[in-house]
Structure 1
Amino acid sequence: MTAEAPIAPAVSHGRLMPVTVHFDDLDALGLLHNARYPLMVERAWTELWNEHGVRFDGDWVAAGDACNAVKELRITYEAPVTRPGTYAVHLWLERLGTTGLTYGFRFCSADGTETYARGTRVLVRLDPATMRPAPWTETFRAAGRELLRPAD
């Protein structure tokens, strides 16, 4: 018996983060409920940023770059998810500005080859005292640059 080589993820940029669809994520028609896609994307981003030390533990002042708000969310559903199991969220940055960023995402098969939904989300970093836009830290920006999608 020969060992098979692992399948390389179908991503050329960003990160492929595993997510699990549970039976109770499906709606009455047996489809992944439309509201679950953004939730799973959020969980994938939270896990990725936690790897870089960006997290919210209840204190907005200590949260630093985790003190941010969503300005815009766009999502397009391309194919239904009809079964529980392991999938992935492909994450990348489209734009990294001084106080804001735009990230792209795909909800996809575990290996990244099939896309079920895709979209973008705009975040703004906030100063916890004023709730006005504030610059990302250089540490955050360095991690973000690694996730930028290459220019076409």
Structure 2
Amino acid sequence: MSTVTTSAAVGALVPVEVHFDELDAMGLLHNSRYQVLVERAWTAFWSAQGFGGSNGLENDAFNVVKAFTVTYDAPMSAPGTYAVNLWIDRLGTTSATAGYRVCSSDGGTTYAHGTRTAVRLDPNTFLPTPWSDRARDVARTITAPRKD
């Protein structure tokens, strides 16, 4: 599935698929699946930019999530194609905080929104290490305007 577009007002709009078996007993997308959709969207976005390598963990792709917030806005009650709107709020030396919306495929309806902070690690020491210039260049393409 995977065309990444910039048709969202800010950032990238990445298609994601919700399957029937992700719905709970009430027929709603289980709360734990929202984070999975966001992670899949980030993977698709960076892969489309050529990041990840043969095992998916090379270079800038070797990072961990430090914090993840989610606010649920409306229930998702059917399998099908949706989207995740992704953008960068803040890019530090070794960390990046991104905003997201889990939304309808056209971006018009928001089902959940939040933030995700990731830290790039050195694969040998597991200590924070700076993002590459290439990752910074790509991140700038989806960076939200500052609100100050």
Length-normalised TM-score, structure 1: 0.89
Q: Deviations over 1:18-41 (max 9, x none)?
A: 111111110000000111110011
User: Equivalent residue for 2:12?
Assistant: 15
Question: Helix, strand or coil: the match of 1:35?
Answer: helix
Evaluate the alpha carbon distance shift between residue 145 and residue 20 of structure 1 in structure 2; reply closer, same or farther with a 3 A threshold: same
Over the aligned positions, Cα root-mean-square deviation in angstroms equals: 1.5
Question: Helix, strand or coil: the match of 1:27?
Answer: coil
Question: Helix, strand or coil: the match of 2:31?
Answer: coil
Q: Deviations over 1:109-140 (max 9, x none)?
A: 11101100001011000011111010000001
Q: Which structure: larger Rg?
A: 1
Kept after mapping to 2: 8 A contact 1:56/1:67:
no
Q: Per-residue deviation at 1:58? A: 3.5
Alignment map for 1:30-69 (pairs within 5 Å) = 30-55=27-52, 57-58=54-55, 63-69=58-64
Hey, which bits of structure 1, 4+ residues long, moved more than 4 A?
Answer: none
User: What percent of counterpart residues are identical?
Assistant: 51
Q: Per-residue deviation at 1:56? A: 5.1
User: Equivalent residue for 1:97?
Assistant: 92
Which segments of 5 or more consecutive residues in structure 1 lack a partner in the other structure?
1-7
Length-normalised TM-score, structure 2: 0.91
Query: Aligned pair count?
Result: 142
The alignment status of 1:73 with 2:59, answered yes or no, reads no
Question: Helix, strand or coil: the match of 2:38?
Answer: helix
